[in-house]
Amino acid sequence: MLRVVRHLLELIRFSHTIFALPFALLAAALAWMDEPFRGQDLLGIVLCMVLARSAAMAFNRLADRHFDAANPRTAMRHLPTGTLSVGVVWLFTLVCGVGFVAATLLFYERQPPNPWPLYLSVPTLLFILGYSLAKRFTSLSHFWLGAALTLAPVGAWVAIRGFTAMTVPLLLGGAVAFWVAGFDILYACQDYAFDKQAGLHSIPARLGIARSLRIAAACHAVMFGLLVALLFASPHLGSVFVVGLIGVGGLLVYEHRLVRADDLTRVNRAFFHVNGVISLGLLAVVLVQLAVK
């Protein structure tokens, strides 16, 4: 059983929760500046984030298992090699999906109750799961993934404050959307040849690697612009956040210097290391900023 659990955590790359969870907590921290802190809200946000992402990643592996088996880069994943059975992964997906919906009750049961997370839980989950099928019919699947991760900060804000003062979470969510779309385009460059052969849709398969790298850079420029707009939209952000923005800008430039059209060997460093520092770093900067305030 412990071995199965370990393989499931490897399957969904549990450590990559680091990409979205900090932005949900960042939005929650800003929301709590104008609302009383509740421990059950924090618990609900963490549970919803982890369970929704786990369900989406497991479903992605199920939907792509035949493509993964044919792609040399992914042929050693757990489903193609039989390390995990399809039935076990389906059960895991179902448990995580039901758990996500149940976790939204933590917001409904507080005083006063907030019904919106519960009402929107199933549509949200279906939208997140839908990303796994998007590359079968649209090259904009990278932006679908970005929109899915946008729901992390926006959902955390709505869970705490409802649909009030939405400028801040929408700016933050927009920044997350373009950030994720940009680095997903970078990551997809590795599968340029396979996607074209298999008939899968992606921006690299449609436009080529060189143009895709420029589009990814443009996405990250938009992300940076939205973070600057967030600085002016939130009364709780100030000089500490400005220092953080300078750091984010430098990391984005570094990320794009790592990847070239004729050299994709450092994509993983750009994807995993740099983006992990960006997400955790922004959360840390905002928490320090709010403490200073």
pLDDT at 221: 98
Confidence of residue 270 (pLDDT cuts 50, 70, 90): confident
pLDDT in tens, 26-63: 999 999 999 999 999 999 999 999 999 999 999 999 99
**Residue 160 is encoded by which pair of tokens?**
């705490």
The CATH number that domain 13-292 falls under is 1.10.357.140
- N- to C-terminal Cα separation, the chain: 48
CA distances (Å), origin 16, targets 22, 53, 93, 123: 11, 9, 17, 23
In angstroms, rounded to a whole number, what is the distance separating the alpha carbons of residues 275 and 271?
A: 6
Domain range list for the chain: 13-292
pLDDT at 268: 81
pLDDT in tens, 107-143: 998 778 899 999 999 999 999 999 999 999 999 999 9
Provide DSSP, 17-33. GGGTHHHHHHHHHHHHT
Residue 271 has pLDDT above 80, yes or no: no
Q: Which residues of 258-272 are buried (b: 16+ CB within 10 A; e: fewer)?
A: bbeeeebeebeebbb
What does pTM read for this prediction?
A: 0.95
Determine what percent of the chain is predicted with pLDDT higher than 70.
100
What is the average pLDDT value for the chain, to the nearest integer?
Answer: 95
pLDDT in tens, 181-239: 999 999 999 999 999 999 999 999 999 999 999 999 999 999 999 999 999 999 999 99
DSSP state of 164: S
